[in-house]
Chains A and B, each alone.
Chain A
Amino acid sequence: MSSVRNDSATIPVRAGRRRAPRGDLWLFVAKRLGIGLILILGATLVSFVLTQLVPGDPAAANLGQQAVEDPEAVAAFRHKYGLDRSLPVQFFTYIGNVLHGDLGLSQQSHRPVGTDLAEYVPATFELAIFAIALSLLVGVSFGVLAAVTRDRWPDQVLRVVSLAGVSMPTFWIALMAFYLFFFKWGLLPGGGRLEPTETPPAHITGLYTVDAALHGQWSLCFSAAKHVVLPGLVLATYTIGLLLRFTRASVLEILGNDYVRSARAKGLPERTVVIRHVLRPALVSIITVAGVAFGSLLSGAVLVENIYSWPGLGQYAYLSAVNLDLPAIMGVSLVVAVVYIAMNLLVDVLYGVIDPRIRLS
């Protein structure tokens, strides 16, 4: 086993799970940050190479059918987006610009990619935070239930339910939920972050619910929350299933441990045993999975945002991919890589905080 795990330092999920002798937390964080930066650079290089493999010409994709016939317009386009320079120059210019906070100009929105991302990333975060909170709540509580009722009917039912959750095509469940809750029953709004007639709250965090609440605009906050519910639920179906199964497994494993048996032998009530002696240690691994699941929600967001007209990162990624908007594709890759890596770093640190027995290396 150990040999399998040795390479895990840079692997998101598994990082930090090594129990090494005493180590300095800060040194560890710094080391992980360094590795994270290298990974981000690698991700940028990969997406850059990818964008160069594109057989289609961005000029053809973004210019009109008449303009593309005009060599001058094409030359102007290529010059504007730096496509007339050599590849290494393009790459290093890009990296240099990124270090100055400049992600280039989007070819589809004609705006700086940074401005676009600042607008779309919070929208996706709002969805993802809701989804992950819901998943933790539902997944963990039902996971514990499944564990304590192991092999009896609640466990069996939950097993099928959680497997169904991870087997559901996200785009399909999004569509069905849309049809039922919005069209058929009219219980929830269909799409967008607010009603069209409502003005978004002044920007603080970019999360409409939070911003509206901070400004004391309660009806706006309520409306924003109502809009989050349906896409958030859909997004959570997968993570609920995942966390449920996972919680069950962790709890079962710990229930089998000696100290749990001795706690029971001492005559402590079952509730105390489960909450104090089982759930707390289990939380460590649950948080790890939740961290990863959060990153994974970005994937689901591509499909869900498409259906719910949610102006988030997923929509932006999709539109940049189909329009061959290279600077935007690069920007999205960068954000996503940063989120993934930051998430894993966070998980590692949390991991050490929650369970001090585990030493970080």
Chain B
Amino acid sequence: MGSGSGGASSGAASSGGAGSGGGPAPAGTVVVDTAFQLKTADPGRMFEPTGLLIDRALYATLLTFTGDDVTKPVPDLAESYTASADGKVFTFKLRKDAIFSDGTPVTPADVMFSLNRVKNVKGNPSFLMDGITVTSPDPGTVVLTSATPNPAIPFIVPNSALGILNSKAVKAAGGSDAVGADKSDTAEAALNGKSEGAGPYVLDSYSTTTQVVMTANPKYWGTPGKYQKIIVRNVQANVQKLNVLKGQSQIAVDLSPAQAEGLSSSVQTINGASPNVFFLFTNNSSAVSKVTSNKDFQEAVRFGVDYDGLVQLAGTGAVQASGIIPTMFLGALPTGTGVKRDVEKAKAALARSGLGSPTVTLAYPSDIQVNGLNFGDLAARVQANLKDVGITVNLAPASVQTALETYRGGKEEMGLWEWGPDYPDPSDYLNFLPGQVVGKRANWLAGQAPELEALGKKAAATIDNDTRKTQYTEIQKMMNTAGPIIPLIQPAQILVASTSVKNVKANALWLVALSELG
């Protein structure tokens, strides 16, 4: 890996002026509408969808992804990298010609500063750097060393939150990467006014409620974006549709399948599955529930749910989550290999359980939508499905704040939740195993599925991608036969764009790479 120069043309460094060698000089404006989920533009504190979208254009990272392919990290600031056999040491060779928007070169010191700052600011993305130390043996090399084997590192560093900052400028603005930066770092306000990155765009104006304007970085060292100006506006999904139809915006990113239905041919629709996975869990602790902890009951639920019906409900573009790992990631189960509804089998399992006609409570957050889908609508469908089997489900909607507390506390008898990827690597989904983050929420504790857990440990330490693929496939197949976690669907992720804009690709991490629009 790490051979080619992922689209970044060389030989532009010397010019240093406007519109470097690669493509034609940027011109024109593209307007992108999205319902803002934006708290900050400071990469060190940012982990919200709109922040990821924006920071991807403002900040270069060590590696990155192009288009919609998140299975293959490609060079960005690092022209190549190597991994040690034990999966603990990753060595990145920095390219020499990369410069920040103020014209100063990108150095290993900047990389160390940026990554350590993320860790020590203790903001939302700091978990990405857990257990990772950054060093630089020579000017041109950066080494990331993980305390435990961490094959996901090449998939983690492309995250916009790990964008490389101009350390001098950020320090001058009050930035700090030292331990205690959570209190001493005061650079956020400055970074919300002016970007300090080496990305293809620079920040022009910023508001968390109206719009963010970015203009082409005249000193960008790679292939510049096609558009001189990118405006990202905060617009509700319904209005996005009208705007894009009326030509008032070029891209709408939040349309639900229902909204995207029957659009005219004046726009293009990029229709794919979202990396978010809706899943159901039944609490595995008999202290919480005698019913849901019953293995046969869990099987009855697994075969009682009408997956095809849920996919149909979620609309065009949605797919069944064959396993817990979403389709676009390494190790995902092929489409069509997931659990199929089998009411007879479910009834038989329920009969075996000896629970009679049990009644259970299904909790879910009722006030949030994921990809335009209400949890309540899915829950109502699950309720109807399980009624066919002989299970009575009481719906317990709650606000996401309240529901999260009971969910995290492992107190929900049955829950309907969603998991969005932290980084596009299957290892993120080890969180669903017994004793891990999500496993514990279902009271699926360490030691309750030894074989599965051992396999998880092995997968966590494997580097070779082919081997990983096999291991993760195995893990998901085991999860699909037993256990309290039942993956349901991946909703549709729909991009609607004016036909004038080319190369619009949905990305699981940052929705769409704005600098790649053609």
Chain A residue with minimal CB distance to B32?
A: A196
Please tell me if B475 contacts chain A, counting CB pairs below 8 Å.
no
- Given A69-B437, A108-B39, answer yes or no on A309-B234 (Cβ-Cβ < 8 Å): yes
Chain B residue with minimal CB distance to A179?
A: B242
Please tell me if B216 contacts chain A, counting CB pairs below 8 Å.
no
Please tell me if B476 contacts chain A, counting CB pairs below 8 Å.
no
Pair A67/B127 contact, Cβ less than 8 Å: yes
Q: How far is the CB of B126 from chain A (nearest CB, A)?
A: 6
Pair A120/B209 contact, Cβ less than 8 Å: yes
Which B residues from 199 to 221 make CB contacts under 8 A with A?
Answer: 207-211
Pair A110/B188 contact, Cβ less than 8 Å: yes
Please tell me if B514 contacts chain A, counting CB pairs below 8 Å.
no
Please tell me if A24 contacts chain B, counting CB pairs below 8 Å.
no
Pair A67/B123 contact, Cβ less than 8 Å: yes
Cβ proximity bits B26-62 to A, threshold 8 Å, 1 near / 0 not: 0001010000000110100101100000000000000
Of B39, B48, B207, B399, the residue contacting A119 (CB under 8 A) is: B207
Q: How far is the CB of A244 from chain B (nearest CB, A)?
A: 31
Chain A residue contacts of B405, Cβ below 8 A: 55-57, 60
Chain A residue contacts of B242, Cβ below 8 A: 182-183, 190
- Given A196-B248, A311-B207, answer yes or no on A56-B401 (Cβ-Cβ < 8 Å): yes
Pair A110/B231 contact, Cβ less than 8 Å: no
- Given A66-B124, A111-B189, A111-B192, answer yes or no on A60-B211 (Cβ-Cβ < 8 Å): no
Which A residues from 169 to 208 make CB contacts under 8 A with B?
Answer: 182-183, 186, 190-193, 195-197
Chain A residue contacts of B399, Cβ below 8 A: 56
Cβ proximity bits B224-243 to A, threshold 8 Å, 1 near / 0 not: 00000001011110010011
Please tell me if A109 contacts chain B, counting CB pairs below 8 Å.
yes
Please tell me if B404 contacts chain A, counting CB pairs below 8 Å.
yes
Chain B residue contacts of A60, Cβ below 8 A: 401, 404-405, 408
Pair B209/A311 contact, Cβ less than 8 Å: yes
Of A79, A80, A110, A316, the residue contacting B39 (CB under 8 A) is: A110
Pair B401/A309 contact, Cβ less than 8 Å: no
- Given A186-B246, A319-B209, A322-B367, answer yes or no on A196-B123 (Cβ-Cβ < 8 Å): no
Pair A55/B209 contact, Cβ less than 8 Å: no
Q: A110-B192, A196-B233 are in contact. List 11 more A-B contacts (CB 8 A).
A: A64-B47, A64-B125, A65-B422, A66-B47, A76-B123, A109-B40, A110-B42, A111-B192, A190-B239, A196-B231, A309-B239
A196 to B210, CA, bound (A): 10
Chain A residue contacts of B402, Cβ below 8 A: 55-56
A183 to B241, CA, bound (A): 10
Where the two chains meet, the residues of A that have a C-beta atom closer than 8 Å to any C-beta of B are 54-57, 60-70, 72-73, 76, 79-80, 107-111, 119-120, 182-183, 186, 190-193, 195-197, 306-307, 309, 311, 315-316, 319, 322, 324
Pair A66/B248 contact, Cβ less than 8 Å: no
Pair A192/B127 contact, Cβ less than 8 Å: no
Of A72, A119, A309, A322, the residue contacting B235 (CB under 8 A) is: A309
Binding site of A, secondary structure by majority: helix, strand, loop or mixed?
loop
Please tell me if B122 contacts chain A, counting CB pairs below 8 Å.
yes
A109 to B437, CA, bound (A): 28
Chain B residue contacts of A110, Cβ below 8 A: 39-40, 42, 45, 188-189, 192, 208
Please tell me if B150 contacts chain A, counting CB pairs below 8 Å.
no
Q: How far is the CB of A101 from chain B (nearest CB, A)?
A: 17
A-B contact pairs, 20 of them (CB 8 A): A61-B400, A65-B420, A67-B124, A68-B408, A69-B437, A70-B126, A76-B182, A111-B192, A119-B207, A190-B243, A190-B246, A195-B248, A196-B31, A196-B233, A197-B31, A197-B231, A309-B235, A309-B239, A316-B209, A324-B401
Chain A residue contacts of B422, Cβ below 8 A: 65-66
Q: How far is the CB of A281 from chain B (nearest CB, A)?
A: 45
Chain A residue contacts of B127, Cβ below 8 A: 64, 66-67, 69-70, 73
Of B124, B188, B192, B210, the residue contacting A64 (CB under 8 A) is: B124
A65 to B235, CA, bound (A): 25
Chain A residue with minimal CB distance to B399?
A: A56
Please tell me if B249 contacts chain A, counting CB pairs below 8 Å.
yes
Pair A63/B248 contact, Cβ less than 8 Å: no
Chain A residue with minimal CB distance to B438?
A: A65
Chain B residue contacts of A193, Cβ below 8 A: 210
A60 to B403, CA, bound (A): 11
Pair A190/B248 contact, Cβ less than 8 Å: yes
A203 to B493, CA, bound (A): 39
Q: How far is the CB of B440 from chain A (nearest CB, A)?
A: 10
Chain B residue contacts of A306, Cβ below 8 A: 236
Pair A315/B209 contact, Cβ less than 8 Å: yes
Chain B residue contacts of A190, Cβ below 8 A: 239, 242-243, 246, 248
